[in-house]
Amino acid sequence: MTVSQLCESIGGKIIAAADASDNLIKGGYTCDFLSFVIGKAKSEDAWITVIGNVNTIAVASLADVGCIILAEDSPLDEDAKDKAEMVGIPVISSSKNSFELSVELGKLLGM
């Protein structure tokens, strides 16, 4: 599934790096601690979090995830948005919470 298909299925909105919305998503990881994501998220995961600062983007790029999903309408800082555009990590915004998004993503992935 691509990031844009995922975004449409969960009723979200791409708020940064829409250029990279054909990135593939094959799994997911849900956590707000950056060092967990660095150590455990896999490439082509959709990363679900409520933290939207520049370090979120740096970590997403290090872990090479396919996209970030910001749950609970969490804000994306202005410098984080710029960095997301620069490194090409799409960010989806959603009003749903991390649990709801994890369940929906799992269903979409046939888990």
Partner 1 sequence: MSLATYRFEVPGDDFTRAGEASGSLKRSLKKIGFDPDIIRRVSIAMYEAEINMVIHANGGVIDVEVSPQKIDIWFRDKGPGIPDIDLAMQEGYSTAPDNVRSLGFGAGMGLPNIKKYTDEMKIDTEIGVGTTVYISVYAK
Coil vs helix vs strand at 16:
strand
Count, residues near partner 1 per rule CB under 8 A: 18
Strands 13-16 and 91-93: antiparallel
> Do 27 and 34 form a contact (C-beta atoms < 8 A)?
no
Minimum gap (Å) between residue 108 Cβ and partner 1: 25
39 touching ligand ATP, by CB under 6 A: no
d(CA 59, CA 56): 5
Quick one: CA dihedral 63, 42, 104, 3, positive or negative? positive
The length of the chain in residues reads: 111
What does 99 bind: partner 1, ligand ATP, none (CB cut-off 5 to 8 Å by kind)?
none
Binding residue for partner 1 (CB under 8 A) from 14, 30, 45, 49? Answer: 49
Binding residue for ligand ATP (CB under 6 A) from 3, 4, 35, 82? Answer: 35
Count, residues near ligand ATP per rule CB under 6 A: 2
d(CA 111, CA 93): 23
Binding site for partner 1 (CB under 8 A): 32-36, 38-39, 49, 51, 53-56, 58-59, 62, 64, 79
Binding site for ligand ATP (CB under 6 A): 34-35
